[in-house]
Amino acid sequence: MRKEKRIVVSKDNKTPFHNNVDFCIGTGRMGLALTQEYQEQLKLVQEQIGFRHIRGHGLFCDDMAIYHEYEQDGVRKAEYNYTYLDRVMDFYRSVGLRPFLELGFMPGKLARGTQTIFYWKGNTTPPRDYKLWCEMVQNLLRHLMDRYGADEVVTWPVEVWNEPNLCGFWENADMQEYFRLFHEAFHAVKEVDCRFRVGGPAVCGGTDEVWIRAFMEYCSEKKLAVDFVTRHHYTIEQPVREGHYDYVKLMKPEDGFDNLKTSRDIIDSFEVYKDLPIHITEFNTSYTPKSVIHDTNLNAAFIAHQLSRLGDGNESYSYWTFGDVFEEQGVPFTPFHGGFGLVADGCIPKPTFWTFVFYKKLQESAGTCVYRDDNMVVLRKPDGSYLGVGWNPVEFGAGEEQSITLSLAAGDGVYSLLTETVDEETCNPLKVWHDLGEPANPSDGQTKLLRQAAQPFVQTCRVACAAAEVEITLLLKRNAVVYFELRKCGIQSDRGYDYERAVGGNDGE
């Protein structure tokens, strides 16, 4: 059953909408940035979306091979190896990215304990010697400043550790130990150059009262002029595992937004930290890299809604992650395995990829938001053209099919309407892969076909303005995300060209 909705946008509409979609994107651990598939996927993302920062784990993990010790004349000494670090940073810069540096995890040689996390065994224990750890951080920053210039490197935000409120990520989830780590890091980094911006505590959602408040109190007490606060944001209930895969149930969106609001309120309750920027340094629907939902059109539509709201109280929000080269739970058996990525292995854009493409277009338009609700956001550009995104996540939207008619204030003339549709029928590589038999190792031809089936469906038409209004109708099918542009555009046919006659079939008159 199709629901119908009518929206009137007058000349004076104006709605707040903080769209910072391109600020940051998540990534699998830094060591994976050395691989070809990772680089191909990130190139695709940067060409079509173009993020500004990238954040992930593993800067100091052993596969980056940064920290070493040796004995000389009976004394243990540290030495640093930046061979891989520079290779990764050179690559990031070649695709227009700056790191959002996460200081973690712990080099084996510097660790107090042996606890590790993930298939790739990141050590998640505190340093056995904070002085050595601070020296390592400082040496690394100075090396980066030598190589890339101090003015450049100080623009890279620094976040201390990841999710210390979980005992897998930080031994015993020891809050006081984390505060010490933060304190040491804060001073060490600022000592290198006081222009660096440093933040934390990078906690997962739902711990506001415990961790966020305690963190602000700690900073306040120690008079740390922390530059920003970070937290994460996932929107599912506990997943259910079957074999390699997780099946999840989405939370109601408003519950998630309320949760974010709590963080904002707590921070603002500290006079000195009021309006301090919050960076959501990770968000997605599900928080496991084998969650089948990530590959679906539902995910794309749900995230479209998120992107319309996450800027409300937060400076930025970083989707976790750009691609499926990830490995936290091992090497995937198939291209569509529910990885976090916007892009599946084989450089196949998933539906959610396009959600980001569309919001980036909104951002680049420099338009003003003139309408926003739970299914749509509409912008008007200074030249009077409109653009917007609509979405229809089946359970939280308006059902199987929704028809939205926009009546847009406009000047006389004829308009050109462009829509790009991503829904289960038009842009659904997961279905194609399934119909091909779910090949674990697609052939080149199959991969090419999957890429072809992963493009938005483009349609155009011409619309006339009547009575200072242009009326257009968007059809949002099940789990659709639809982008549109409407701009005034006469037709200046070349001498002798008559389109209607050209396509009118078979006549020479």
Active site residues: 163, 282
Which strands make up the sheet holding 53-56, listed edge to edge? 98-99, 53-56, 24-27, 316-319, 278-284, 228-234, 198-203, 158-160, 101-103
Task: Print the binding letters for residues 378-397 with a second copy: x by CB under 8 A, - otherwise.
Answer: ----------------xx--
Using rule CB under 8 A, residue 241 touches a second copy:
yes
Q: Please, which residue, 11 or 462, has the CB nearer to a second copy?
A: 462
| Least distance in angstroms from the C-beta of 43 to a second copy | 11
Using rule CB under 8 A, residue 71 touches a second copy:
no
Q: Determine the Cα–Cα distance for residues 22 and 315; give it in Å rounded to an integer.
A: 11
Residues 6+ apart with CB under 8 A from 309: 253, 257
Using rule CB under 8 A, residue 475 touches a second copy:
no
Residues 155-214 that bind a second copy (CB under 8 A): none
Using rule CB under 8 A, residue 292 touches a second copy:
yes
Q: Please, which residue, 167 or 463, has the CB nearer to a second copy?
A: 463
Extract long-range pairs of 147-156: CB within 8 Å, 24+ residues apart: 147/86, 147/89, 148/89, 148/93, 150/193, 152/98, 153/193, 154/193, 154/195, 154/196, 155/98, 156/53, 156/98, 156/99, 156/100, 156/101, 156/196
The answer to whether the bond into 321 is cis (omega within 30° of 0) is: yes
Among 156, 247, 257, 273, binds a second copy (CB under 8 A): 247
Q: Determine the Cα–Cα distance for residues 175 and 17; give it in Å rounded to an integer.
A: 35
| Least distance in angstroms from the C-beta of 214 to a second copy | 31
Residue 188 belongs to what H/E stretch?
helix 175-192
Residues 404-423 that bind a second copy (CB under 8 A): 416-418
Residues 318-337 that bind a second copy (CB under 8 A): 330-334, 337
Residues 132-151 that bind a second copy (CB under 8 A): 143, 147
How many Cβ atoms from other residues are within 10 Å of residue 382's Cβ? 9
Using rule CB under 8 A, residue 248 touches a second copy:
yes
Among 424, 480, 483, 484, binds a second copy (CB under 8 A): 424
DSSP calls for 171-187: GGG-HHHHHHHHHHHHH
Residues 6+ apart with CB under 8 A from 247: 239, 240, 241, 291, 292, 293
Using rule CB under 8 A, residue 74 touches a second copy:
no
| Least distance in angstroms from the C-beta of 68 to a second copy | 8
In DSSP terms, 372 is beta-bridged to 377
Among 16, 83, 194, 366, binds a second copy (CB under 8 A): 83
Query: Which range in 4-12, 85-93, 126-134, 201-209 contacts a second copy by CB under 8 A?
Result: 85-93
CB 61 within 8 A of CB 31: yes
3-state secondary structure of 318: strand
Q: Spell out the alpha helix ranges (H) of 404-498.
A: 429-435, 444-452
Among 280, 293, 300, 301, binds a second copy (CB under 8 A): 293
Q: Please, which residue, 382 or 508, has the CB nearer to a second copy?
A: 508
Residues 23-42 that bind a second copy (CB under 8 A): 34-37, 39
Using rule CB under 8 A, residue 338 touches a second copy:
yes
Residues 265-284 that bind a second copy (CB under 8 A): none
Q: Determine the Cα–Cα distance for residues 400 and 397; give it in Å rounded to an integer.
A: 8
CB 462 within 8 A of CB 415: yes
Task: Print the binding letters for residues 443-462 with a second copy: x by CB under 8 A, - otherwise.
Answer: xx----x--xx-xxxx-xxx
Query: Which range in 99-107, 352-360, 404-412, 484-492 contacts a second copy by CB under 8 A?
Result: 484-492
Query: Which range in 152-160, 255-263, 290-298, 309-317 contacts a second copy by CB under 8 A?
Result: 290-298
The HSE-up count of residue 263 (CA atoms within 13 Å, CB side) is 32
| Least distance in angstroms from the C-beta of 477 to a second copy | 14
- Tokens read off for 257: 């937004």
CB 453 within 8 A of CB 436: no
Q: Please, which residue, 179 or 356, has the CB nearer to a second copy?
A: 356
Among 152, 191, 217, 237, binds a second copy (CB under 8 A): 237
Query: Which range in 130-138, 204-212, 381-389, 489-497 contacts a second copy by CB under 8 A?
Result: 489-497
Residues 427-446 that bind a second copy (CB under 8 A): 430-432, 434-438, 440-441, 443-444
